[in-house]
Chain A
Amino acid sequence: MFKNRISKILFLWSGLILIVILLPFVLPSYFIHVLIMILFYGYLGTSWNILGGYAGQFSFGHAAFFGIGAYASTLAFVNWNITPWIGMVFGGLLGMLLGLLIGSLCFHYGLRGPYFALATLAFSELLRLISLNLDLTGKAMGILIPLKGDAPLYFQHESKIFYYFVILLMFIGALWITRRIDGGKIGDYFSAIREDEDSAEAIGVNTFAYKLLAILISGFLTALGGTFYAQYFLYIDPAITFGVGNSIEIFLRPIVGGMGTVYGPIIGALVLGPLGEVTREMLGGYQGVHLMIYGAILVSVIIFLPNGIYGWFRSLKKRRKDQKLCHL
């Protein structure tokens, strides 16, 4: 049907783009919400993946960056009426600053693997406890963000379609950054650090600087996601922003989809998003059942697909190619 591969790819891509653009206009509001959450966690997973997947520094406390972003834009909005769009950039920069703090401390003292994970967890818990006890952050009550109605300039809209396109653009941005990293020097250096830090140093990689770069990019992007969350739900509190549960939600999708791959996080989000909705719908009466199912999925993925869904798919493709070679 198609003359060559390129026109086929072009056709598929334009079809995909068309669907992605038209989808929110034909779907009922609930399904738009599901799509928004898929893109939202796909975005957060992509942000986490740069540090945890590519550079191999497993963060167990990404909620720290998320919460910093959410509280920064919200506090600026509530107290000084600064639009969350500006607050979002401000929050992103604060996320980078936090990344600089965590990174320079942990990487300077050579915290690796589980020790780094625990240190990041400690930072997010620290921030949770601070926000739980400060009057400024509304303590356990959290902060209700004042309604502005249809005010896109204030990052608010009555229609979910607005949020859909915002998070779509954010996701595409994060994906673009990941693709830029993946194919070039930075991606090679990140992967080298993940695979063996001594070898990386021996071939001239400044491992400290590149790990810091990874946590800066990742922290910035994750903080932007925090602002999106705050403006979408118009409510934040210490547990949902800085809580451990949020950190787990952030890294679950890249693990299921495939760590250290460009499309792993969104594949994970596409699988877990609808699954979460279905189980919540079917077993809504039993609180926490969907979390049990999450746990079961995580365990099975780690046992049966250690490289995630994307990694499994790639090894299938490679095996098929090898078989072809054998039959020649």
Chain B
Amino acid sequence: MPSLKIENLSKSFGGLTAINRVTFQVREGEILGLIGPNGSGKTTIFNLISGFLTPDTGSIHLGEESLVGLKPHQICKRGIGRTFQIVKPFSNLSVMRNVRAAVFNRERTISGANRQSESLLEFVGLWPKRNEYANSLTLVERKRLELARSLATHPKFLLLDEVMAGLTPVEQQQMIELVKKIREGGITIIVIEHTMRIIMTIADRILVLCFGEIIAQGVPRDVAQDPNVIKSYLGEKYSFA
């Protein structure tokens, strides 16, 4: 599997520098956690990698190939899937067709697409809802649909943008299990998450962003004890046992 390399990535919106010379590499098969205060540039990094934004400077390489300048659908074709923080289901389509549209990214036949959509819906637990319109789903169901849809494109890398935000602890636990299963299936995952408890349990490695710069990185335990991280993100009173 080719690796995903981000080097010296910068992006400003007008006078605001959202991402400033960010460099990191995603290792095969890992779950990389991306954390940081609001507005620190986490989602911007996702938008840059998935082609919804073009960087001002810097490079993004998947293996040997540069992804800068490619359209989102081309990046999807190269094996990078994503979810949106604010879920964007195809509201007036059935759950089944939401997923099937994404399956067509790699599948040509209708019967094959139907079969794959069915097994994906089973996997995320939306099988009973397959004929409902997506706009009748609850938030947790929408997040699962978003996940199923991005999986349906057969990604090698999956960018998950706060798939657990707004869920109850039980729902979060189920989602954690799903994410772990996806990784076991050989997909490398980058996950943005706010809840420290979750990120500590699922991430192999964590990057901490603050004002568009990486202020710390490493295994969860080290990052949580880093004085910089505590000062800018966790708060002085936070102590991780």
Contact = CB atoms under 8 A, between A and B. Distances in A.
B92 A195 contact: yes
A198 interface: yes
B153 to A, nearest CB: 5
Contacts of A199: 84, 88-90, 149
A3 B223 CA distance: 71
Interface stretch (B33-41, B93-101, B119-127, B195-203): B93-101
B104 A202 contact: no
A203 B97 contact: no
B150 interface: yes
A189 B89 CA distance: 13
A182 to B, nearest CB: 11
B113 interface: yes
B52 A198 contact: yes
A202 B108 CA distance: 18
A183 B111 CA distance: 11
A201 interface: yes
B211 to A, nearest CB: 26
B152 interface: yes
Contacts of B113: 185
B221 interface: no
A207 B100 CA distance: 16
B110 A184 contact: yes
A204 B77 contact: yes
Given A203-B150, A203-B152, A196 B88 contact: yes
B73 A207 contact: yes
Contacts of A204: 73, 76-77, 102, 104-105, 153
A308 to B, nearest CB: 12
Given A196-B90, A202-B50, A204-B153, A191 B101 contact: yes
Given A185-B110, A195-B92, A202 B82 contact: yes
A189 B88 contact: no
B212 interface: no
Given A203-B152, A203-B153, A188 B104 contact: yes
Interface in A171-189: 183-185, 188-189
A205 interface: yes
A255 to B, nearest CB: 15
A192 interface: yes
A235 to B, nearest CB: 42
A188 B97 contact: yes
B55 interface: no
Given A184-B110, A185-B110, A191-B97, A203 B105 contact: yes
B181 interface: no
B127 to A, nearest CB: 16
A300 interface: no
Nearest to B92: A195
A81 interface: no
Nearest to B78: A204
Contacts of B231: none
Interface in B7-55: 50-52
A29 interface: no
Nearest to B90: A195
B72 A202 contact: yes
B71 A201 contact: yes
Most buried by A among B50, B51, B73, B77: B73
B147 to A, nearest CB: 12
A191 to B, nearest CB: 5
B100 A198 contact: no
Interface in A60-103: none
Interface of B: 50-52, 71-73, 76-77, 81-82, 84, 88-93, 97, 100-102, 104-105, 108, 110, 113, 149-150, 152-153
Given A202-B52, A203-B102, A207-B73, 13 more contacts: A183-B110, A185-B108, A185-B110, A189-B104, A195-B90, A199-B89, A200-B73, A201-B51, A201-B76, A202-B50, A202-B73, A202-B81, A203-B153
5 contacts: A192-B90, A199-B88, A203-B150, A204-B105, A206-B73
